[in-house]
Amino acid sequence: NANLADLDPEVAHSIDAELTRQRNGLEMIASENHTPVAVMQAQGSVLTNKYAEGYPGRRYYGGCEHVDVLEQLAIDRVKALFGAGFANVQPHSGAQANAAVMHALIKPGDTIMGLNLAHGGHLTHGMRINFSGRLYNVIPYQVRADDYRVDMDDVERLAREHKPQLIVAGWSAYARQLDFERFRSIADEVGAYLMVDMAHFAGLVAAGLHPSPVQHAHVTTSTTHKTLAGPRGGIILSNDADIAKKINSAVFPGQQGGPLEHVIAGKAVAFKIAASAEFKERQQRILDGARILADRLTQPDVAAHGISVVSGGTDVHLVLVDLRDCELDGQQAEDRLAQIDITVNRNAVPFDPRPPMVTSGLRIGTPALASRGFEAAAFSEVADIIAEALIASADADLASLAQRVAALAADHPLYADVVPFGAG
Ligand code: PLP
């Protein structure tokens, strides 16, 4: 029973190095967050040892009396948080939640509609080599070329023409809100199910700072680790009792074996936190930070370098930077910010002329910084640093920007009580 640092210094060293990286840099990947220590404690517990195939009260293994309590807590909390009559908290990830819903409601060969990946959709919304693209006939919809909003008239036209069995509404790289009501009325008109994938904006919904899809969709899926700030994982919500039964059997035994009860315990903790006033205040800072960043990246000094913001701003936790008219491509911009310890990801923008591995965009999110306490002044400073880095000449010395990043990180300590393993 040796501890990790003694038993496996190589692994311990890598974990310590990652802790240092997260502490010293600024994490601005829109899908990431810094989960609370309490969530990590739940995940690092003896629950990882337990098999619990089935559902609370209906398990295929003995010894489930404690995990039953935990899983029921997670279910009850997430139902209350989002006003859903049913929740399944077992999906191992967002992708598996989406796979389970499709498995439950439609058959291979059926037609689905989802936002084109190149316009901000997710892999599981119908990308060609994803299970969703291989099993189903995919009709993608897209954003309008003039204002970069999802084109609901196009969604309606395509739905009438192709009569999908399922319409997916949701996104991974889109900075505006969707019209869930209109999506539902289109789905109803053509006899399709509406699945909303709120993975990115679930935290904003929980805080009441973004319209909730739960009352409009037949099924709502989410990850638990993005704005929601919990452990990595997925959930499925519905208000329809028949759909609920199908979802439960699609998750287990349809898609998964034993649930990850240590992760489910982490989800329960995250849902408790998400119902708090502190969480709502944090989600507000996420939104404020994204708006500050979008405002800065639309100023004339930035625009003069051919840099703009897709759709001109943001209503959510992320900004999609448009580099189509800039010499700097997405890869170079990502690398440049990495040099000053700001982590973002390059991302295709709609109608992107550059190849997918290079791209003409950056997706920049504020959830992780809000979790480490950033408020307006700190977000303004980081927005200035990003703007200056992006407009700097190719041979510019970025050391002073890196120092400003280090100062922001030092002012907002992360995981101050977490003790490194200290191996080797
Ligand atoms: N759905 C959306 C909209 C996402 O953005 C993501 C992840 O980025 C997922 C689903 C998949 O989640 P996971 O990575 O947990 O499978």
DSSP assignment of 5-44: HHH-HHHHHHHHHHHHHHHHSEE--TT-----HHHHHHHT
Answer whether 0.95 is exceeded by the pTM.
yes
Residue 122 assigned to a binding site: yes
Kindly report, residue by residue over 277-295, the tens digit of the pLDDT.
Answer: 999 999 999 999 999 999 9
Helix axes 277-296, 261-274, angle to 10 degrees: 80
Question: Per-residue pLDDT averaged across 236-259, rounded?
Answer: 98
**Ligand 1 in contact with 93 (CB < 6 A)?**
yes
Distance (Å) from CA 6 to ligand 1 centroid: 35
Residue written as token pair 């909003």: 149
Residue type, 349: V
Kindly report, residue by residue over 315-368, the tens digit of the pLDDT.
Answer: 999 999 999 999 999 999 999 999 999 999 999 999 999 999 999 999 999 999
Look over the chain and give the mean of its residue pLDDT values, rounded to a whole number. 97
Q: Contact, 228 vs 274, CB < 8 A? A: yes
CA 67 from chain centre, in angstroms, equals: 27
Residue 117 assigned to a binding site: yes
Would you say residue 386 has pLDDT above 70? Answer: yes
Would you say residue 371 has pLDDT above 80? Answer: yes
Q: Which residues contact 374 (CB under 8 A, 6 or more apart)?
A: 285, 289, 366, 382, 408, 412
Would you say residue 196 has pLDDT above 60? Answer: yes
What pLDDT score was predicted for residue 424?
A: 56
Q: Catalytic residue positions?
A: 51, 53, 197, 223, 226, 232
Taking CA atoms only, the protein residue closest to ligand 1 atom 14 is 94
**Ligand 1 in contact with 31 (CB < 6 A)?**
yes
Q: What is the spatial distance between Cα 207 and Cα 317, in angstroms, rounded to a whole number?
A: 13
Q: What is the spatial distance between Cα 161 and Cα 148, in angstroms, rounded to a whole number?
A: 23
Taking CA atoms only, the protein residue closest to ligand 1 atom 13 is 94
Kindly report, residue by residue over 9-64, the tens digit of the pLDDT.
Answer: 999 999 999 999 999 999 999 999 999 999 999 999 999 999 999 999 999 999 99
**Ligand 1 in contact with 91 (CB < 6 A)?**
no
